[in-house]
Amino acid sequence: MERKAKQVLAECAKHGLVVKLDTLEKKRMARHWHVGFEKQPGVLEITDLGDAVVLKVASNRDGGWATAFARELAKKRR
């Protein structure tokens, strides 16, 4: 796993988020996670492309926190 992805996942864990799904996207050979709070709606998708980490929140999966948190993470990565 790319160091950047480890940092993003560690930051998520600091805020109480847990990994709900951990898969390998075969088409892109990319590691892909869904993270969220244990008993709260919302999902942040994290994809490690090797040279970049992509954060995504589907419009129907924000849960009132995911988009804002993704923006916060993106700022910290710069």
Q: How far is C-alpha 34 from the chain's CA centre?
A: 6
**What pTM does this model have?**
0.90
Per-residue pLDDT tens digits for 10-27: 999 999 999 999 999 898
DSSP 2-50: -HHHHHHHHHHHHTT-EEEEEEEETTTTEEEEEEE-TTSS--EEEEE-S
Strand order of the β-sheet with 53-56 is: 18-25, 30-36, 44-48, 53-56
**pLDDT band at residue 77, thresholds of 50, 70 and 90?**
low
